[in-house]
Structure 1
Amino acid sequence: MVQVAITRPKPLNPWRKAPRQARAEATVDAICQATVQLLLRNGAAQLTTTRVAERAGVSVGTMYQYFPHKRALLRAMFERHIQTIAQSIELACERSRAQPLDDIAANLIAAFLEVIQSRPDESRAAYSLLAEPENAGWADVLFERTTVAVGRALATSVNATFDNTVDVAVAVTNALAGSARWLIERGLPPDVVRAQREQLTLMVSGYLRSAGQA
């Protein structure tokens, strides 16, 4: 059995001060929600920490307790979203250990698409940030965490083994990323998401069966 060689990446950690209490977490949540709303309305170029503070109903001083500048705010919003996706994928892959390839594929794709569909505004806002060249590497943590989780699930499959689990996991992760981009650009309509889920499951299942050795 081939083991996954990728190590777990470090978190982005854009915070000046991480929230520790429920009240602080609620404040940060309001700030991040306001950031999403303003990003979708006006774009990153027009977003300012002052406007976000006003939208969130907090003072600029409170904002600066957590985010020292605009870029840290945007990165924190992005990190919160990808953490949600990564945790959902990791949980689905953990539950898929020692299962057939078709079940691993179905569980993974369902978890991934359900997260981005359940948080459409966050998904669109996060994706919009990746259009900026300086933010291109922000999705690396999500990509690597997904690859690790998928590889570990595949390594325990009950009906196949792989010569190179990492390469297979990378290919699956790329398929998910491409599908997510296509869906987000179209506004994540429910009927299209459902159809894409079915087709993506067929595609990934077929690839895994082809790449694996029964």
Structure 2
Amino acid sequence: MLVRLQSTLGRNDLTEQMLLIPEPNKALSAESVNLIVAYDASPNSHAALDIAFWIAHQTRLATNAQVTVQAVYVVEEDYKHQYPDIFHSAKHLPTLECPASNLSKAVTSVLTQPKLNAITPQLQDKLLAPLQEADKIIWQARSLAEEWQGAFKSHLRFGDVGAELRKVVELEAADILFVGCRSVNHPLVKTLGTNFPSAVLGIPNCIDE
């Protein structure tokens, strides 16, 4: 995949720039390819998603494999710890394969369950704010995927970013995780660890050129 990307861009150094964690020793399927992107709407995660779509497109043209691109957004652990009851209920919404607007409706339903009906409107608004932001971010990823015209899924997870990315990679048997990082020294890459279940690719330095 990286060789085809290098050839298109006329470069020979992308592998050393982009490969942050090498591919583990595991059997790869010739029939399907699963690419996962850690997406948070930042410019770097936009770049990672664009690269994933490009590689997916080239792979689909060059092979007969079914290629799926998936975007994962994680609501971080700190907020979850402030309101454990809310997020215990909301964790039943891990994967979204429907219009993003349904997320807000589902979360509103969670917040109005009988055991939570004592929360004030002000607190409900405060609780909904990061989830509505997640709704917007996932909708944005899905909008970017419209031009891809291939298989696409989006995930909303709650907890530690590194741990949740690992869970999704394992659950989906992903071949590659794309992150918006440029270095193995990035804090996110360090949290993934060296024994990661898929290769991890970042964005190349030459992307600004």
TM-score w.r.t. structure 2 length?
Answer: 0.28
TM-score computed with the length of structure 1 as normaliser: 0.28
Q: Which has the higher helix share?
A: 1
